[in-house]
Amino acid sequence: MLDVRRLRLLCDLSRLGTIAAVAQAHTYTPSAVSQQLSILEREAGVPLLERTGRRVTLTAAGWTAVEHAETVLAALEQTTAALAAAATGLTGPLRIGAFPTAVRTLLPGALVALGERHPGLELMVTELDPVEVPAALRDRRLDVGLLNDYDIVPVKPDPAVDSVSLLDETVFVAVPSSARTTNARKTRGTDPLRDVREAAWILASPGTLCHTATLQVCRAAGFTPRARHHADDFATVLALVAAGLGVSLVPQLAAAQPPVGVRLIPLPTRRRTRIAYRKGAATHPAIAAFAAAIDAATVDFLSR
């Protein structure tokens, strides 16, 4: 019989690439992970790993095991969800991960409503960049989280994660009100970024989804943005724009109440936000309750 915990380690190795990374994710030692994977190979009766020096790769049988293990792990999540549905009332921790803009705009209303309806839930929020959410769900540091991507930079789905659409936003280029830009009516159908090609840009930190999306949007328009400042909080970004210190891309949630001195020019680019959870967990009562609450909070926020 294959051990589920060891199968999870194999899945993590397929995703993270090294035994050291798997050990760090689980707070194990690398030797402990290697030992567990060796036991799994003996259980399977076929080589799952190929070792070349210090490098470890999965064999064809290893990849087959990972594919079926993902199905097994999803079935366990479905079992957990079914048992939770049989219980009376929702209790215990619900660990939620979300990006800063959503934490500031959507989560407060959702958490208040969820707490009133299900006082037995212990709601715990962690602020995370969307790129970190799938790993946090896999590692069980989160139960549910908010993912987003941009239509111009789609994110490859994680095989261990399911999601449902929450919000589709307009993306704006935020410019100082004093900046000279061509009248939007006269430029309909032309490049809305043409007046900011030579501007100083405020970019998110390298490696974040927002940074990658800005680079891609600008490159698609035929230029590379000239980075002057780096900031990840959109309130900070808009304050810098209002001060005339640069321009930046800002999604609709962050641009709901721009400060005086900022003008927003809509772009055809869209940011798409989804509610994510481990595969098989969609019917868990706490996950379903959160999804309903955040959906209602989103509708309420956008209707203001």
How many Cβ atoms from other residues are within 10 Å of residue 21's Cβ?
15
Same-domain status, 192 and 204: yes
pLDDT at 188 over 50: no
Last residue of a domain, one of 33, 58, 84: 84
What pLDDT score was predicted for residue 180?
63
Same domain, 127 and 138: yes
Percent share of the chain, pLDDT over 70: 96
For 298, residues 6+ apart whose C-beta sits below 8 A from its C-beta are: 106, 166, 167
Same domain, 156 and 277: yes
- For residue 64, what is the domain's CATH number? 1.10.10.10
Predicted local distance difference test score (pLDDT) of residue 156: 87
Residue 182 has pLDDT above 70, yes or no: no
Is residue 175 located within the same domain as residue 142? no
232 and 172 part of one domain = yes
pLDDT digits (tens, 9 = 90+) for 126-162: 999 888 899 899 888 999 999 999 999 998 888 889 9
Report which residue type is found at 167. Answer: L
Beta bridge partners of 273: 148, 167
Clarify whether residues 250 and 173 are in a common domain.
yes
Same domain, 69 and 18: yes
Among 20, 50, 84, give the residue marking a domain's end: 84
CATH number of the domain where residue 187 is located: 3.40.190.10
pLDDT band at 95 (very low <50, low <70, confident <90, very high): very high
pLDDT band for 186, please (50, 70, 90 cuts). Answer: very low
Q: How many structural domains are present in the chain?
A: 3
Cβ-contact 65, 96 below 8 angstroms: no
- Summarised one tens digit per residue, pLDDT across range 57-85 is 999 999 999 999 988 888 888 888 888 77
Taking residues 42-61, what's their average pLDDT? 89
Whether this prediction's pTM lies above 0.85 is answered by: no
pLDDT, one tens digit per residue, over 269-292 is: 999 999 999 999 999 999 999 999
d(CA 201, CA 155): 24
Range of the domain at 206: 168-271
- Residue 292: what pLDDT? 96
Q: Are residues 56 and 180 in the same domain?
A: no
Q: Which residues contact 97 (CB under 8 A, 6 or more apart)?
A: 125, 126, 127, 128, 132, 133, 136, 137, 141, 142, 144, 145, 146
Tell me the mean pLDDT in the region 22-49.
90
- Sign of the C-alpha dihedral computed for residues 128, 130, 135 and 140 taken in this order: positive
pLDDT single digits (tens) 239-261: 999 999 999 999 999 998 899 99
Please check whether residues 232 and 211 belong to one and the same domain. yes
Q: Specify whether 155 is located in the same domain as 279.
A: yes
Q: Are residues 156 and 291 in the same domain?
A: yes
Quick one: average pLDDT of 105-111? 95
172: left (phi over 0), alpha (psi -120 to 50) or beta: beta
What is the reported pLDDT for 190?
66
Within this chain, do residues 9 and 143 fall inside the same structural domain, yes or no? no
Which pLDDT belongs to residue 222? Answer: 94
Residue ending a domain, among 84, 111, 146, is 84
Is 87 a residue whose pLDDT tops 80? no
